[in-house]
Amino acid sequence: MSRAVYDLAARRIGPAAPTSLLHPAGLSLPFDQPADAELITPEIRADICSGAYSADLLQLLPSAVRPGDRVLIIGAGLCAVSTAVLADNKHGRVPFFARRDLSASSLLPDGQPWQTVIMVPFMGLSLILAEERISLMVCSIPRSGAQMIGSARLDGVDRVIVDCGNDAAPWWEEGELCSVLAARCYVCSPANQAQVPPSGTALLFQAPRPGCNR
């Protein structure tokens, strides 16, 4: 008998190793090989199939993304490993500890047991923004994102989305990044200004105020 995964959110029986996950918004998340499906925990899989995963962020995208945008996502979430560590004025490589639960993978060896160590390079945020001509930046790691964005050159970046995803991160972490963006002259979009900022909220910040020095 083949194994099966019971999707509590969709109330259906599905294969243990699907070739892709389908999000109700019309997104398809393919796997390079069937074994990759096992990297996503059942809880995250259920959230994707039900539409709960990053729901606040997805609601913002239609009004945030413009034709021709070049987008940088800091803290991409479902990526199997980090492709780089963003840090201005640092060089070389640093160990990344990949764990069975991808959300627990990090640069720290402590905590949950890790399966493998991957050496990833340092890359400067300012350099990436300039070379890739980034116009929209999505930041899903508010605390460390505040440190990076606070000192980066943001020329050409006219929109920033702050997203805490489904994590129960305290609002002060997200608020710290919002304060940094305000200091860099970004303005929270009118649709978001009336929101009470609980954890899990995504906020869109628009182009800097005229005459403000970033």
Note the pTM of the prediction, 2 decimals.
0.73
pLDDT (mean) for 168-192: 71
Is 4 contained in some domain? no
pLDDT at residue 71 in the model: 93
What mean pLDDT is predicted for residues 22-36?
Answer: 77
Residue 7 lies in a domain: no
Highest mean pLDDT: which range of 11-15, 47-51, 52-56: 47-51
Q: How many folded domains does the chain comprise?
A: 2
Same domain assignment for residues 94 and 179: yes
What tokens were used for 170?
Answer: 């305290």
Tens digit of pLDDT for each residue in 64-116? Answer: 999 999 999 887 766 544 567 887 778 888 888 888 777 777 888 887 888 88
pLDDT at position 27 is: 75
pLDDT band at 167 (very low <50, low <70, confident <90, very high): low
Q: Are residues 71 and 148 in the same domain?
A: yes
Domain limits for position 44:
16-50
